[in-house]
Amino acid sequence: MAKLLTKRSPVRARPGALMTIKVISFDLDGTIVDFNYNKAFWDEAIPHLYSKRHKISLEEAKKIVFDDYKKLKQPDDARWYTPSFWFQRFDIGSFEDVAKDLAHHVRLYHDVIPSLKTLSRKFKLVVISNSLKEFVELKLEAEGIGRYFSKYYSVLDMFGGFKSPVVYKAILKDLGVGAKAVIHVGDDAEFDYFAARKAGLHAFLLNRGDGPEFLDTNATNRKVPPGNIIRNLNDLKKRVENL
Ligand SMILES: [Mg+2]
CB count within 10 Å of CB 193 equals: 25
Q: Is the pLDDT of residue 133 over 50?
A: yes
CA of 36 relative to ligand 1 center, distance in Å: 13
CA of 78 relative to ligand 1 center, distance in Å: 15
Strand 23-26 versus strand 229-230 pairing type? unpaired
Which stretch of 24-28, 72-76, 133-137, 158-162 has the lowest confidence by average pLDDT? 72-76
Alpha-carbon distance 139 to 135, whole Å?
6
pTM for the whole thing? 0.86
CA of 65 relative to ligand 1 center, distance in Å: 23
Residues 2-8, mean pLDDT to the nearest whole number: 47
Q: Which residues contact 132 (CB under 8 A, 6 or more apart)?
A: 81, 82, 83, 154, 156, 157
CA of 124 relative to ligand 1 center, distance in Å: 20
CA of 5 relative to ligand 1 center, distance in Å: 29
To the nearest whole percent, how much of the chain has pLDDT over 70?
86
In single-letter form, the type of residue at position 157 comes to: D
DSSP 3-state of 18 = helix
Within a 13 Å sphere around the CA of 175, how many CA atoms are in the beta-carbon half? 29
**In angstroms, what CA-CA distances link 68 with 39, 44, 53, 58?**
16, 15, 17, 15
Q: Is the pLDDT of residue 2 over 50?
A: no
Q: Is the pLDDT of residue 235 over 50?
A: yes
pLDDT bin (cut points 50, 70, 90) of residue 76 is confident
Which letter does DSSP use for residue 42 in this model?
Answer: I
Q: Is the pLDDT of residue 243 over 80?
A: no
pLDDT of residue 240: 85
Helical residues (DSSP H) of the chain, grouped into ranges: 15-20, 36-38, 46-54, 58-72, 83-89, 95-101, 112-122, 133-140, 155-159, 165-175, 195-198, 212-218, 233-242
CA of 117 relative to ligand 1 center, distance in Å: 21
What domains, with CATH codes, occur in the chain?
2-34+108-242 (3.40.50.1000), 36-104 (no CATH)
DSSP 3-state of 223 = coil
Ion ligand 1: residues, CB within 5 A, are 27, 29-30, 187-188
pLDDT tens digits, residue range 188-201? 999 999 999 999 99
CA of 19 relative to ligand 1 center, distance in Å: 28
**Spatial contact of 215 and 208, defined as CB atoms under 8 Å apart:** no
CA of 75 relative to ligand 1 center, distance in Å: 15
pLDDT tens digits, residue range 11-35? 444 545 556 899 999 999 999 999 9
Q: What rounded mean pLDDT belongs to the chain?
A: 89
